[in-house]
């Protein structure tokens, strides 16, 4: 019985993360998941996320100076945008590429992360 409940809770967390379409903090995920499971606690969300990372269904998104956020695994190569007003992080599709051209001579590029900062559409609208 206990096991079943845990499985259901993890499913809700997993579904919410997929539906969100952007990387979420555990507390953001918690408030979304509580809409369908009001009794859900933050410890359960952390446990579910850890399990999903172990299983490979979720990926940790670490922006400099921020707590880890989570997004579903298997997304195509993309980057992130952080709104400096509401502090939400969004997926940015596309990549400028050719970043190896920036490297000093003799260096080899093995990966990159790009974070854009600014105001999201909702927060920009507030400023009109």
Contacts of 69 (CB under 8 A, 6+ apart): 23, 24, 25, 60, 61, 62, 63, 89
Q: What is the CA 19 to chain-centroid distance, rounded?
A: 11
Q: How many whole angstroms separate alpha carbon 14 and alpha carbon 94? A: 25
Whichever of 105 and 127 has its CB closer to Zn ion, that residue is 127
- String of contacts with Zn ion for each residue 50-89, x by CB under 5 A: ---------------------------------x-xx---
N-term to C-term CA, the chain: 53
Closest to Zn ion by CB, 75 or 86: 86
Q: What is the closest distance, in whole angstroms, from the C-beta atom of residue 6 to Zn ion in the complex?
A: 34
What is the three-class DSSP state of 115?
A: strand
- CB of 89 vs Zn ion, minimal distance in Å: 10
Nearest to Zn ion of 37, 63 (CB atom): 63
Would you give the binding string for Zn ion spanning residues 88-107, x where CB under 5 A is met? Answer: -------x------------
CA distance 124 to 72: 27
Residues that bind Zn ion (CB under 5 A): 83, 85-86, 95, 120, 123
């Amino acid at each position: 019985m206990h096991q079943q409940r845990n499985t259901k809770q993890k499913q809700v967390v997993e579904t919410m993360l997929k539906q969100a379409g952007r990387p979420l903090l555990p507390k953001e995920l918690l408030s979304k998941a509580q809409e369908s499971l009001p009794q859900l606690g933050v410890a359960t969300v952390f446990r579910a996320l850890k399990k999903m990372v172990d299983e490979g269904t979720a990926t940790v998104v670490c922006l400099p100076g921020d707590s880890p956020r989570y997004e579903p695994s298997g997304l195509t190569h993309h980057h992130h945008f952080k709104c400096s007003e509401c502090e939400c992080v969004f997926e940015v599709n596309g990549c400028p590429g050719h970043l190896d051209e920036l490297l000093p001579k003799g260096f080899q590029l093995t990966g990159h992360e790009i974070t854009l900062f600014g105001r999201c559409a909702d927060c920009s609208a507030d400023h009109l």
